Amino acid sequence: MPISTSTIYSVTSYKSPAQFPPYVWDAFNLRERDANIMLPHALKCLDKEQLYGQYWIVCTTQPLHGSHSVDFILSCTTGPLGDYPIFIFSAVPFSQLAESYMIPRIEEMASRLHQLVPNERVFSIFAPKPITVAFAKRWCKFTGVQFASQPEYYAATFSHCTRRTFVKRRMTYVQGMSYKIRPAVEEDQAAIARLCRDFAATSEPFILSHEAAWREAGMLIHNGKIWVHEISEGGCATDIASIAAFTRESDRVAAITKVYTNPLWRQRGCAERLVRAVTEHLLRTKESVVLYVSHGNPAAKVYDRVGFVGLRGNAEQYEGVDPWLELGFDPKVTRLGHW
């Protein structure tokens, strides 16, 4: 369906997803994969009474005839380890994001957010690349806050795997190595906390303290959202080589949100085995599994072998495999969160 050419659009803010009109949920459900960055959190917030400090800004276009059409949804929310970046979901396919359509709407949303939150709250913005760039420029204009010295916090390809693209195969056995893939249990917390902290250390500025990593590991285990790859080689003691977490789930979509292998156990196929097992598990009840792959990350080859599409320089062949970008603002005047 072509984008409405109407210039009659409106921006509305909400303190809770419980206040959303039905057409907002319809927009989420119509593009559930693309909405994964915020839809699962919105669903969780339905059961909470927290109405302070969290905002959702919805931009809609009013066609000449018909009901409201959702253009963009912005979330300014908080997670278990701190404030999230500003996320923006586009109800419009990436290929149709013309500047003449996008920029005035994004500018109006940035202006509304500026009215709602202090400048220090917005430490970064993460969205499809052209939306991020448009929002960030206008946020700097409204607030006077400048970019971080190295503003590109995260540049990634958003990919997905379905039951049709999933590749089920048995990997080559390595002589003298034994392994087991399983959901994590409470006794794994110390090992998982170490790997969570090491993973965060590769994702500056979002590093974790020992205490925060311990808390994150405990939450992931308690909620059943993390699996581990155990390994033993040459008769030595068993160790946890890899972890894979999946923390954003909605009716038809789940996201793998953290994959990390201890450098001591790399080049043994641990990540591929674990990601394949977790993806297969999730696809038993979901239509798609999604993840973000940072540009230049050698793990893209691993995800490609599992069945995640568009990671061979052929993203344009797959709808919804798009470039996303996180830009950060001056940490001297913003309060860093975590995601």
Q: Which domain CATH number covers 265? A: 3.40.630.30
Q: What is the DSSP string of 94-130?
A: GGG--HHHHHHHHHHHHHHHHHHS-GGG--EEEEEHH
Determine the average pLDDT of the residues in 146-154: 97
Q: Which has the higher per-residue pLDDT, 7 or 303?
A: 303
Residues 44 and 145 in one domain: yes
Confidence at residue 175, expressed as pLDDT on a 0 to 100 scale = 74
Pick the closest to residue 97 from 57, 40, 152, 135 (CA basis). Answer: 135
| 169 within domain boundaries | no
- Whether the link from the prior residue into 205 is cis, omega within 30° of 0, is yes
Q: Is the pLDDT of residue 47 over 60?
A: yes
Residue 84 included in any domain: yes
Confidence check: pLDDT of 110 > 90: yes
Higher pLDDT: 120 or 66? It is 120
Q: What is the per-residue pLDDT for 16?
A: 92
Residue 2 pLDDT greater than 50, yes or no = no
Between 83-87, 167-171, 320-324, the lowest mean confidence (pLDDT) is in 167-171
Regarding whether 131 and 257 lie in a shared domain, the answer is no
φ and ψ at residue 10, rounded to 5 degrees: -140, 155
Question: Are 302 and 202 members of one domain?
Answer: yes
Confidence band, pLDDT 50/70/90 cuts, at residue 53: confident
Residue 55 structural domain? 9-154+324-329
Please check the confidence at residue 320 and state whether its pLDDT lies above 50: yes
Going by their DSSP bridges, the two strands 86-90 and 124-128 should be labelled as parallel
Do both 117 and 246 map to the same domain?
A: no
Measured CA distances, 106 to 15, 82, 89, 135, 177 (Å): 19, 25, 11, 6, 53
DSSP 141-168: HHH-PPEEEEEEEEEEEEEEEETTT---
pLDDT at 194: 98
What pLDDT score does 1 carry?
A: 42
Domain count, the chain: 2
What pLDDT does residue 107 have? 97
**pLDDT at residue 171, rounded to an integer:** 74
Cα–Cα dist 322/55, whole Å: 26
Q: How many CB atoms lie within 10 A of CB 260?
A: 22
Task: Give residue 275's pLDDT band: very low, low, confident or very high (50, 70, 90).
Answer: very high
Q: Does 313 fall in a domain?
A: no
| Within-domain flag for 275 | yes
Q: Specify if 51 maps to a domain.
A: yes
292 and 244 in a common domain: yes
Say yes or no: 16 and 126 in one domain: yes
Token output for 171: 């990997």
Residue 180's pLDDT band (cuts 50, 70, 90): very high
Q: Tell me: do 130 and 15 sit in the same domain.
A: yes
Are residues 187 and 273 located together in one domain of the fold? yes
- Of the candidates 51, 62, 53, 47, which has an alpha carbon nearest to the alpha carbon of residue 9? 62
List pLDDT tens digits, range 184-224: 999 999 999 999 999 999 998 999 999 999 999 999 999 99
The answer to the question of residue 31 being in a domain is yes
Q: Are residues 195 and 98 in the same domain?
A: no
Find the mean pLDDT for residues 279-291: 98
Rounded distance between C-alpha atoms, residue 111 and residue 109, angstroms: 5
Same domain, 93 and 208: no
Of the chain, the percentage scoring pLDDT greater than 90 comes to 86
How confident is residue 46, by pLDDT bands cut at 50, 70 and 90?
confident
Q: Is 317 a domain residue?
A: no
How many C-beta atoms lie closer than 10 Å to residue 285's C-beta? 10
Same domain, 226 and 269: yes
Task: State the CATH number of the domain containing residue 76.
Answer: 3.40.630
Averaged pLDDT for residues 111-137: 98
Q: Which ranges constitute the DSSP H helices of the chain?
A: 22-30, 39-45, 99-116, 129-143, 189-201, 210-222, 270-283, 299-306
Q: Which helix (H) or strand (E) segment is 208 a member of? A: none
Residues 270 and 140 in one domain: no
Which of the listed ranges 93-102, 176-185, 232-241, 248-257 does the model predict with the highest average pLDDT? Answer: 248-257
Does residue 316 lie in a domain region?
no
Give 17-37 pLDDT, tens digit per residue.
Answer: 999 999 999 999 999 999 999
pLDDT of residue 64: 57
